[in-house]
Amino acid sequence: MSNRKLIIAGNWKMNKTPAEASSFIKELKPLIKRSRNEVVCAVPFVDIQTSITAARGSRIKIAAQNMHFEEKGAYTGEVSGQMLKSMGVTYVIIGHSERREYFAETNRTVNKKVIAAYKCGLKPIICVGESLAQREAGLTAEHIRYQVKAALVGVTADQVKKAVIAYEPIWAIGTGRTATAEQAQEVCHIIRMTIKELYSKRVSSVVRIQYGGSVKADNAHELFSMEDIDGGLVGGASLKLSEFAAITAG
* HSE, side-chain direction, 13 A CA sphere, residue 83: 17
Selected binder of ligand PEP within 236, 243, 245, 247 (CB under 6 A): 236
Q: Does 215 bind ligand PEP (CB under 6 A)?
A: yes
Interaction of residue 105 with ligand PEP, rule CB under 6 A: no
Nearer to ligand PEP, 36 or 177 (CB): 177
Q: In the annotation, is 168 catalytic?
A: yes
Pick from 95, 124, 213, 231: which binds ligand PEP (CB under 6 A)? 213
5 vs 149: CA distance, rounded Å: 24
Instruction: Write the burial class of residue 133 (CB in 10 Å: 0-12 exposed, 13-18 middle, 19+ buried).
Output: exposed
Question: Which residue's CB is nearer to ligand PEP, number 82 or number 238?
Answer: 238
Closest CA to 98 of 59, 127, 67: 127
Going by C-alpha positions, the residue among 84, 80, 105 that lies closest to residue 95 is 105
Query: Rounded to the nearest whole angstrom, what is the least distance from the CB of residue 240 to ligand PEP in the complex?
Result: 11
- Which residue lies nearer to ligand PEP by CB, 25 or 234? 234
Size of the site for ligand PEP (CB under 6 A): 13
Question: What's the one-letter identity of residue 245?
Answer: A
Q: How far apart are CA 244 and CA 182, in angstroms?
A: 23
Tell me which of 105, 130, 168, 243 is the catalytic residue. Answer: 168
Would you give the binding string for ligand PEP spanning residues 155-184, x where CB under 6 A is met? -------------x----xx----------
> What phi, psi does 158 have (nearest 5°)?
-65, -35
Among candidate residues 38, 96, 130, 243, the one labeled active-site is: 96
Distance CA 73, CA 48 (A): 22
- Residue closer to ligand PEP, measured from CB, 81 or 212: 212
Q: Does 235 bind ligand PEP (CB under 6 A)?
A: yes
What does the alpha-carbon distance between residue 29 and residue 244 come to, in Å, rounded to a whole number? 12
Distance CA 168, CA 131 (A): 10
Applying the rule CB under 6 A, the residues between 4 and 33 that interact with ligand PEP are 11
Nearest distance in Å: CB 232, ligand PEP: 8
Note the maximum CA span of the chain: 49
So which residues are the catalytic ones?
Answer: 96, 168
Interaction site with ligand PEP (CB under 6 A): 11, 168, 173-174, 212-215, 233-237
